[in-house]
Amino acid sequence: MSLRHGLLGLLAEGPASGYDLARRFSEALGLVWPARHPQIYMELSRLETAGLIEVDSHGPRGRKAYRLTDAGLAEVRRWLSEVEVDHTFRMETLFRSYFFWLMEPDDLKAHLAREERFYDEMAQRLRGYAESKDRGEWGTGRQARAMRIALEAGVRVNQALVDWARWAQETDPMTADDFGTAQPDEAQPDEARPNEAQPGGTGSTG
């Protein structure tokens, strides 16, 4: 449902085609809300039918640019200030961390190192964008400022994940000497079958 409003928000910046919008999503925007071109084109059709956008112009190779209608602008504003934010986030990285105890210590170490590197590169990249915005390379209007705020969030979240991955490796919580089960090069005995080794928290009467 957010995609709908996101498209309206992007069109508020000025007329754009499905292709343009898809490109925006493949860049920074897609880091927090992925969307592929089929979904975008279909959503644009629906928005047009609903009267929230209309065709602005036809370009070179079948290019079709849309523009926001008054109703569309009103709708995206309504969304921003009246519709409750959905605070659930979907992060596979964090989801996986619940299951780290099932991994071989070496695999886990390698995994955390990879994750740290990934988020570090991402944070760096976003910081680069942020700096160019701070130098005024993208203008100084309200829109550029909003971009800057969004970027800052990206930087901070990614940096938090870098710090987390570093912390997890440093405190070495799953690979410490005092917890030596499932050594990498040994065949796993029964401890490796957590299913039977655990009492099984949630009672399962017969």
Partner DNA sequence: TTCAACATGTAAGAAGTTACATGATTAC
Partner DNA sequence: GTAATCATGTAACTTCTTACATGTTGAA
Supply the minimum distance, in Å, between the C-beta of residue 138 and its own copies.
Answer: 10
Q: How distant, in Å, are the alpha carbons of 6, 48, 172 from that of 116?
A: 30, 43, 14
Query: Quick one: what does residue 62 bind among DNA, its own copies, none, with the CB cut-off 5 to 8 Å set by partner type?
Result: DNA
Supply the minimum distance, in Å, between the C-beta of residue 105 and DNA.
Answer: 29
144 three-class SS: helix
In the complex, the residues that contact DNA under the rule CB under 7 A are 1-4, 17-20, 22, 34-39, 41-42, 44-45, 59-65
Nearer to its own copies, 92 or 185 (CB): 92
Supply the minimum distance, in Å, between the C-beta of residue 63 and DNA.
Answer: 4
Q: What pairs with residue 66 in β-bridges? A: 16, 55
Nearer to its own copies, 49 or 84 (CB): 84
One DSSP character per residue, 99-112 reads TGGGS-HHHHHHHH
DSSP H or E stretch at residue 65: strand 64-68
Supply the minimum distance, in Å, between the C-beta of residue 51 and DNA.
Answer: 17
Distance (Å, rounded) from C-alpha 12 to C-alpha 34?
19
Nearer to DNA, 86 or 170 (CB): 86
